[in-house]
Amino acid sequence: MRFSRTLALGATMLVLAVSACSSGGGSSSSSGSQPTVKVGSVGFDEARIMAEAYAQVLENAGYTVNRDGIGLGDRSVLQPALESGQIDLQPEYIGSSLGSKAYGGSPTGDPAANLTALQAILNGKGGGITALNYTPAQDQNAFVVRKETADQYSLTKMSDVAAVQDKLKLGLATDCPTNPLCGKALKDAYGIDTTNATLLSACDTPMAQALVAKTIDLGELCSTQPDILVNNFVLLQDDKLTQPADNISPLVRNDFLAKTDKTSFEKLLNDLSAKIDTPTLADLYKQVSVDKKDIKDVVSTWLKAQGLVK
């Protein structure tokens, strides 16, 4: 009996050992079975929401996610962070990225053309970076004023601003002086001098608060930003079409993709991106920035409702 028990125990231990060995490359739903992915984003709520959504979908598939880079800084910080490998993945606004000072492309109103042109640049950055499918959702840089300001100076479009700019306090993005889609575009297309503008986070609450407090009269927000509706701000028409189509694409380092199943990894993110249309993005943004709900909770609730996570 003792001999038989020893054999049985030995057989059991062998089965356990084999099972343990085989689990190392096993199901994508088991924690730790995939490489760690370092996710980053720029600092405003909408980008952080997108980064968190990609992070949760990846965690659900067994990836360990390092979130230290979420909210890391503006594009001047994120571009070198991705290129150097400080982060592996970030959601990016493809038109603005293409037209940034670092990349020097010529973005258009066609997101497919923007993605193609951006990918050509990314091929030579940081050992190679891949732009995955972009979202149907589009967010653009938007210039807004209080309704009383619009009424006082008859402002409906950006071309109206130059004639009264000496009477207006401008609030623009922190990178506006070096961003050709901001300072240069406003000067060249509209004749607006941005030299004395107050620089704030463009798509963030402080810019909206400055408008409400009247410390600025014209502010740079994002077109999906709920503060525009909540505060009845007037969105000025970009009548010279200076701002590009800004759909969102996850950018991923090629050296990270080489460490995992590239096809399944890309499908996870592409399936998520396909479900983010503009009303959805605006609603998620509102829940966080206006309703003051926790980003992780907002994202988790939406992903579960879409069947993207369990």
What is the pLDDT, as a whole number, of residue 117?
Answer: 98
The length of the chain is 310
Helices and strands of the chain, counted as H and E runs:
13, 10
Is the pLDDT at 170 greater than 70? The verdict is yes
Is the pLDDT at 22 greater than 80? The verdict is no
What is the pLDDT, as a whole number, of residue 25?
Answer: 33
Is the pLDDT at 254 greater than 90? The verdict is yes
**Which tokens go with 37?**
């992915």
Q: Which domains does the chain have, with CATH numbers?
A: 37-138+247-305 (3.40.190.10), 141-235 (3.40.190.120)
**Which tokens go with 260?**
């995992």
Residue written as token pair 């979908």: 57
Q: How far apart are CA 140 and CA 145, in angstroms?
A: 16
Q: How far is CA 164 from CA 101, 112, 155, 283, in A?
A: 29, 37, 9, 34
Q: How far apart are CA 96 and CA 179, in angstroms?
A: 9
pTM of the model: 0.76
Question: Which residues pair with residue 251 across a beta bridge?
Answer: 90, 131
Is the pLDDT at 2 greater than 70? The verdict is no
**Which tokens go with 234?**
């007037």
Arithmetic mean of pLDDT, 137-166:
96
Is the pLDDT at 205 greater than 80? The verdict is yes
In contact, 26 and 32? CB cutoff 8 Å: no
Q: How far is CA 36 from CA 66, 229, 233, in A?
A: 7, 39, 42
Identify the CA nearest to 243 among candidates 158, 155, 157, 181: 181
What is the pLDDT, as a whole number, of residue 24?
Answer: 34
Residue written as token pair 């909210």: 71
Is the pLDDT at 11 greater than 90? The verdict is no
Q: Name residues whose C-beta falls within 8 Å of residue 190's C-beta, 6 or more positions apart in sequence.
A: 158, 159, 161, 162, 240, 242
What is the pLDDT, as a whole number, of residue 118?
Answer: 98
Q: Tens of pLDDT along 69-81? A: 999 999 999 999 9
